[in-house]
Amino acid sequence: MTTLSLVTEHAVATLEELNARADQLLPTIAQGAAQRERDRLLPFDAVAQIAKAGFFTTRIPVRYGGSGGSVKDVIRLLIRIAAADSNVAQALRPGFGFIEGLLASSSEQAEAERERWFARYLDGIVVGNAGWEVGGANGSISARIVRDGDHYRATGSKYYSTGSLYADWVSAVALDEDDQPVSFILPRNRKGLELLDDFDAMGQRLTASGTTRLNNVQVLAEEIRTRTVEEGKRTIVTPFLQLFLAAVEAGIARNALNDAVTFAKEHARPIKHSSATRSVDDPYVELSVGDISARAFTAEAVVLHAAESIDRAWAGGLDPVLVDQAAIDVAQAQYIAAESALKAAELVFDVGGASTTGRGHNLDRHWRNARTVANHNPRHWKASAVGSWQLKGTPPPTSGLF
């Protein structure tokens, strides 16, 4: 990928400038997405360029040097990135989520953390995640962290380490001697921190969501992060992280539409008994593309609508009622965005014949990617929680998935 000089050191970019940089950078990222996914070429350059372009600073307040954008501004940008390459978009999730956590934090150390980390984001860093584990109940933690003089040592194995291979810093969580969760963040080059490229899902193959090993790795005292979320209490960060997944789905639907249009224009030919001489004039090709377009439109609309709900919660001082409403709106957006993306990805194959299944086109990646993102959080639980809210006013669970 060609390196683009998109941002100068500590330049304060407006939202308009960030979108202009996206106009310049994202077509380049999109151009190689199908081949990267087919040949397993990890998008290191794409992630680095996005960080250097300042996209992570969209939500950072102006007083810290950021663009001061809303959640809706971030989500709109993420849909655009996902429409170029959904793997790249999802790899950014820990970095954007980390910023939301800093904004929401009210701990004694919160202001110092914001100043330190926002400055690093302005320098173009990337943050990855190593929080989840396999082998136990969803959310269970077996990794341990123990005192070692003035500092700590962490041991354990993590999976679903989204974006960590592309990251400069990796956040993780482990249990201390009292079985309490402790959050910390480590520099990528710390001795004992081992990142593996072993993610083997059928879709989203390049999100770098494989194994992270904590091999008795040293954790400095200043790398411990205060956990401010109370048990059984919802944080506004969770709806944001869930909406992030819905934004990826909306981007996949848009990407499927783009590929359907390109294939119909450049590769497809009318079936023998068609009345059209060009595929773009075939009424059933037109129908298929129109159907895909409607689903991409719907996915984007519901996701942006839910983003407005999160912004209202922020504007309302994070009133718990508004936060619960945001969680419900996000759950509904996830349900429809996943359904829309899956159907759009299926309909791509209706714009041509057997040639649409050629590996060179790699059109099946859209369905595989949409299905993989959807499986992060089963849609049935989303719909059920919304139904319980409508019928009985029951708030959604505080499991970290709403």
Q: Which CATH superfamily is domain 144-225 in?
A: Butyryl-CoA Dehydrogenase, subunit A, domain 2 (2.40.110.10)
pLDDT given for residue 135 in this prediction: 66
Res. 5 pLDDT band, cuts 50 70 90? very low
Do the two domains 15-125 and 237-392 of this chain adopt the same fold?
A: no
Buried b / exposed e over 92-105, threshold 16 CB at 10 Å, is bbbbbbbbbbbbbb
Q: Provide the Cα torsion 348, 352, 353, 355; round to 10°.
A: -80
Res. 3 pLDDT band, cuts 50 70 90? very low
Which CATH number is 237-392 given?
A: 1.20.140.10
Residues 311, 313: Cα–Cα separation, whole Å: 5
**Could you report the per-residue pLDDT of 192-209, keeping only the tens digit for each?**
999 999 999 999 999 999
Q: Which range, of 130-144, 291-305, 360-374, averages the lowest pLDDT?
A: 130-144
**Mean of per-residue pLDDT scores for the chain:** 92
pLDDT given for residue 378 in this prediction: 84
* Domain layout of the chain by residue ranges: 15-125, 144-225, 237-392
Q: Calculate mean pLDDT across residues 390-394.
A: 97
pLDDT given for residue 7 in this prediction: 43
Determine contact, residues 206/36, Cβ cutoff 8 Å: yes
**Could you report the per-residue pLDDT of 146-186, keeping only the tens digit for each?**
999 999 999 999 999 999 999 999 999 999 999 999 999 99
**Could you report the per-residue pLDDT of 322-358, keeping only the tens digit for each?**
999 999 999 999 999 999 999 999 999 999 888 889 8
Share of the chain above pLDDT 70, in %: 93
pTM score: 0.94
401 vs 143, residue with greater confidence? 143
**Could you report the per-residue pLDDT of 15-68, keeping only the tens digit for each?**
999 999 999 999 999 999 999 999 999 999 999 999 999 999 999 999 999 999
Is the CATH number 1.10.540.10 carried by domain 15-125?
A: yes
Amino acid at 318: L
Buried b / exposed e over 44-58, threshold 16 CB at 10 Å, is ebbbbbbbbbbbbbb
Q: Is residue 8 over pLDDT 80?
A: no
**Could you report the per-residue pLDDT of 257-314, keeping only the tens digit for each?**
999 999 889 986 676 676 766 778 788 889 999 999 999 999 999 999 999 999 999 9
| CB atoms closer than 10 angstroms to residue 284 | 14
Buried b / exposed e over 253-283, threshold 16 CB at 10 Å, is bbbbbbbbeebbeeebebeeeeeeeebeebe
